[in-house]
Structures are given as structure tokens and as C-alpha cells.
Chain A
Amino acid sequence: MSPSELESDTYDVVVIGTNLSGSIVAASLAKAGKSILHIDPNEYYGSSHSSLTLDELIQWSSLHSSPSLTSHQYSQASTSTLTPSLHSDRRRYALSLYPAILPSRGSMIQTLIDSEVSKYVSFRLLGSVSVYNSTQPLNSSGEKEETGMVKNSKEVKVRRVPGSKEDIFKDTSINLRDKRKLMKFLLWASGSYEITTVFMENKHKRMGEFLKDVFGLDVKLADQICYAIAHCDDPEEKVERVLGRMNRYLKSIGRYGSGAFLVGQYGSAGEVAQGFCRACAVYGGTYVLGPSAKLESISASEDGVILRLPCHPRDIKASKVISTAEHLPENLRPAAAEVIITTAQCIAILPSFPELLRQSRGSSEGTQTEEEGSEENEDTAVLLFPPEGEMGLVRALIMGEGTGSCPPRQWILYLSSVVSESTPPKCLEPYLSRLSSEPLFSAFYFSHRPKYDIPAEKLLPSDKNIVLLRPCESLDMTEGMDWEAKQAEAAFWQVVGKDGQVGYFEKTEEGEESE
């Protein structure tokens, strides 16, 4: 058989796009015994969740440099040029188009475990979560009043957020009274808060106000909780939603260590997607990537979907097609969203761990934890910059060599913020320079996501045999991976039906015969 020909003309399911949800659902269906053809027109795995090498990122950037929003997800991408040493190390980087951290409890972790893909991908605990003290002027916003404590500890620009009981006890910067309030709140939020009257009466309130009014926390602590523990976009978010998320994050603490979040190796999301693709292949799925997997035509009918691909000389027939909207032709996509949310993103390579974050360790924890994890703390970190001036919340995620993302003694920095206009560098460069005076490399781009007014699950594809995978609407870095896992499971059930014949990543005594 010619290598440029598929083994079959028909498949149970064709999955288009190797993004997280596509890869997970492909693996789950292959495991359930379905014949799977998984294609991606990109040369690399992961689609919008990909981990790219440095040269791949530059190539990617040149393809997404268009100044305005077209049908693409990305625009205005630009990169600095490579120094010779970066060039020679270019393949040692895993740079994520989808920087994310993973709560230790949730759909993604569960799916990783159930599918045993956890064997291929490794995670480590996130080193620290900190909040930038925005009274240090960036522009001119100085609205937040601060207690004297900040000045006392010689210009603390960054506060490491105590995420657990232990942390709170250790923290020397919070006074005893506040500690008690904080503990009281965290205890409540990590328990069965939803049956309490406090919750019933306040669930439609804004989170920030709620913390102040009901738990008596000061603005500063309330903000820290909102940004760094509950990972809100802003303190205006509704209590009900915030607490649901926060409860899970608080329960994540202690599962694998003292923090709530894990950071994946090699760019995280992209590596996880590859892991599921491999699982799918192991269960018999066929993989075609690149130009030979670029859809030539697709048409849906009553009893299935017909596709044409360069890798096969004949029509390919599938009972179902699973895809994200971006891979489908206009006529098979759902109606366009009215609102597009734009995020400015930056990927930078730093020659040192940001000084800012070193400070935060020293000042808030004293010397007692010096030995514990000094290395780990300087490998991964999340830093949140509360809104300042024109800019909304800016999120920074740092991944060092321990995550396999870069060569030794370098760090990858991801910045992101929802913006309305301007250009990506204009938005984020001030933040980059706070973290590093001399980045070795930087890339900036806009990422665009549709936001629908109708709930996601009401958003239907144009044909019953096409199953749509939707991108996560939340823009923070803690929810995306779980969202993808949920999308995948929903798609799985849409394909197999809930008749009890097969389970989702069900353990089986014996797999199917090979060949």
C-alpha cells in the first residue's frame, strides 16, 4: 500500500484538530473500540493548545501577523530576532500557545488518570502564586490605600499569597486579626458553603464586596483572594461563580502537595494533547498531520459525513466528525458570535528568575522555608497584576528549566491580559520590563475568542453528524484544561450515546486484537 493512502475508506469517527478536547475525545473513542482518523492541517500537534519550539513559534508568528482580526484566532503576532545561541538551542524550547495551570482536582486530572495518559505526561507543583502591589506606580493609578506594612518591609512590590492554613500561619505580614478572618473565610469556602445561609443571601453579590461586607476582610486581602486564590478576572465577579471555582481549588490543596495547582512539563497543554493522541494511536487511531491532512471538502448528509483529504485518493466516509469551529467550512460552522474577546499575549525568554518574585519569598516567609523548595520556587510561579490605569488584570506564568520548557538557567514568561484595542507589545511590554530588564526573546500576539450570549451547550452545529468542540470562554489560566476535558467527554457521549454499552475511558480486561 502506498504510504500516502489511508488503510480504509471508512471510519467511525474523523476528528479534526489535535487540540486538547479533540485529542482526548479521539483517545476515548479509540479506547471504546471506534475506528478513528485524527487529522490536523498543522504540521505540529496541539492546534491552539500547541507547544512549539522556538523556530516553530517564529514560523507560527509570521503566519499570524495580520494587523486585523480575520477569520483567524490570532493577529498582530511579532517576535524579536534570534541570537545565535537561541538559534542553536531553538529546538530545546517548548513554548505554549495556551499557558495554563492545572488544579489538582477536576475533570482534566481525572481524565488523565482514567485514561492512563498520566503515564506519558508529568506535572510538578506550581511554586508560588503572588500578587503585585499596584501602589507602585506604573501609570498613575493610586486608588488603593495600603496599610503601613508594605512600606515597613522595604518596598515589597509583590506579595506571595498564602493559599493554605500553613501558609497563613507562617505569613508574618498579616496581623493576627486579619489572619483569623482569613482563616474563617477559607474554612467556610472550602467546606459545604453552598448550604449556608450566608451563601444563599449573598450569592448574587460581587465577590470583592462580599468579602469586605460579610467577612470583614480589607480591600487588599479581598483582592488577593479574588485574584490569586479564586483566580477571578476581577473582584466584580459574582459570588456564586467564584465560590464554585474557589472551593475546588481549595480542595485541590494537599492532594499532591501544599499548592492547589500543577504545571505540566514541556508547555503543559500541548504535551497533554500529544499524550492523548498517542493513547489514541495505541488503541488503533490513525494520525495524519500537515498539508496532506488539510480538508479539501466536507459534506454532511443523513447517514454520515464525506470528506476529501490529500492523503487519500478516494472519498472518506465517517459516521461522525468531531471538530472545533475553526477547521470547518463556513456553511458547517455555528453562527458567528456577536462578541469577540481579545487577549494580548506575550511569550518571553528570561535569563534569570524575576527579582520581584525572589523578594516576595524572602519578605513574606522569613527564613524558615529557605531550604524547602528554594529551587522549586524559582522554577514556576504565577504573578497577578491587578488592574492599573487602562489595563485590566495581567496574568504572568513562569516556567523554568524544571518544566522542560527551556534550557538550563532560563525561564519562560507568559503574560496575558484582556484588552480592547492598542497593540500587544504596547499593552504588555511595561509588565515584561517589570519582570526582566533584558529578555532574551519576546513574542507578542493577540488571541481572539468568540463569546456567545447563549449558553455554550445550546450552541449547535449545523448538522447532527458533526460534533462541535467549543473553546473555553474563561480567560484565566486555571479553567481551560478542565473545560477541554469536559468538552471531550460531552462529545464522547454524543457519539456513543448513553446506552450503557461502553464507558468513558472504561477499564477493560482485554483490548481489541491488534490489526
Chain B
Amino acid sequence: MADETPMKAVQVKLVLLGEAAVGKSSLVLRFVQNDFNENTSPTIGAAFLTQRCRLENRIVKFEIWDTAGQERFHSLAPMYYRNAAAAVVVYDITKSASLEKAKAWVKELQRQANPNIIIALVGNKLDLVSDTPSEPPTDGSEVERDEEDEETTPKPAESTEDGDSRQVSIAEAETYAKECGLLFFEASAKVGTNVNEVFTEIAKAIPLDTISPKPAAAAQGARKPATQAEGGVNLGEQQAKKGGCC
């Protein structure tokens, strides 16, 4: 199926989760603005952002949903998880409590979301620790740290130069991720380290055929494109709107 039309974009809903201020939105901003900017000029706080991820055999179009602050009081609606084929659960490697929160979110995903959801655990703020360049545990992807160094100007580490601020070791998080079958990365939204890799690996991990089992039920079911184009759904182009966000 997908082989015949290899370059047709498949749409994948991806949700972000994690404690407030771990950098969920910045990760997305980095991903969406940096590298594949074929279409939109996104803004944080939009309903959702889209970004294409080009793989060898297909294009995955991510529809990225930010929590819009609804994670603070655990008031994320079922709609948020609905039909998400992927989730990025973010923690801050300089705050051990944030990993605990991340684990809780993974549990919540297992409860609420599609059982086949691809989950990536991402330890953000790698730029705040300057110890070893952290290799991602997955074999395939390479760390292309230099690629986005144009923004290294901001202060690298807040506290010390030698990475004292790290509170979550790679080993700890990686072990947990392995146990739960999650993709795992350490990344820096600020510098750009590993950000694209997170999304690329997710895109690769999404099974070709099971993409959106139901999501576009309306889209596929309604033979009248009008229902989609003007009706309830894809009304007009999406416009990024600013608003409060974590």
C-alpha cells in the first residue's frame, strides 16, 4: 500500500507530556522551526503544530499537540490522548522529580491512550550539563550536535561548568525506558541536540499500516470531501495562535 505511493504523507498525532517547565514546547519549537520548515510558521501555544518528517520510504506528517497547561491539574481531556499514535514524555535531566512525573505520565498513557502508541522518553536540557556527550542508546541515529550550533550563544550551564547540575543519570532513565519499551533520548531544545532524532526515530517506529486506526474515521468514511473541508473538520488552514502554555 504505502509502497505504491511512497511519498504520500501519513498523518500522525503526537502528544507531549511531562511536568510543567521541562521544555515540552521548546522541543517542539526546535523541531518544527529548525529543519523541515516546508510549511507553517508555528507559534507556541497553538492548538497544534504540524511538521513533516521525511524518511526514506515515506513522509510522516506530525500533528503535535501541546498540553496547553492542562497537565498542571491533571485535567487533560480524553480528547488529548485520542488517536495519538505517538507521545513524547519529557523530563528535565537536572531535576530528578521530573523523571518521576514522567513515569506517572507514561502510566497515564498506558491507561488512556491507544495500546500501540509509540512513546519516547526524552531527558531535556542536556545543554545544562557539560559532561560527556550523551550518545543516544539507539544504534541507528547519530548525534549531530554540530549541526545546530548556531544558537550556542546563550549561557551553556547555569551552575557549574562540569555538569554538576545533572540529577538523572543516563543509566537510570535508560533502564526505565527499556523496561517499559520506550524510545529514549537525552536532548537539548536550546542547542538542538538530538531533537530531530527524537522525531525521526518515532517516525520510523510508527508501523506503516496501523497509522491512525480510527483517527481519520471521518476523513476516510465520509466520501464527500466537503464534510472534511468545510464541515466539522479541516476547516480552512490552521493558524497558529498564541496563548498560555507551559
Q: A interface vs B, CB < 8 Å?
A: 3-4, 30, 44-45, 51, 53, 91, 94, 104, 109, 112-113, 116, 118-125, 255-257, 262, 264-266, 271, 274-275, 277-279, 281-290, 292-293, 311, 373, 375-376, 379, 401-404, 508, 510-515
Contact = CB atoms under 8 A, between A and B. Distances in A.
A264 B218 CA distance: 9
A69 B82 CA distance: 35
Contacts of B79: 120-121, 266, 271, 274-275, 278
16 contacts: A53-B78, A109-B231, A116-B238, A120-B79, A123-B227, A255-B226, A274-B78, A281-B69, A282-B47, A287-B70, A311-B73, A373-B223, A404-B217, A508-B241, A510-B242, A511-B45
Contacts of A403: 217
B226 to A, nearest CB: 5
A514 B219 CA distance: 33
Nearest to A507: B239
A514 B44 contact: yes
A281 B231 contact: no
Main SS at interface, chain B: loop
Contacts of B70: 278, 281, 287
Given A125-B224, A266-B82, A283 B243 contact: yes
Nearest to B43: A511
Contacts of B233: 118-119, 121-123
Contacts of A264: 232
B222 A125 contact: yes
Contacts of A283: 241, 243-244
A62 B135 CA distance: 53
A402 B227 contact: no
A512 B241 CA distance: 9
Contacts, number: 159
B169 to A, nearest CB: 25
Given A112-B232, A282-B68, A515 B245 contact: yes
B177 to A, nearest CB: 24
Contacts of A104: 231
Contacts of A109: 231-232
Interface in B26-71: 43-48, 68-70
A120 B78 CA distance: 12
B98 to A, nearest CB: 12
A448 B245 CA distance: 39
A71 B242 CA distance: 41
A289 B222 contact: no
Contacts of A290: 75
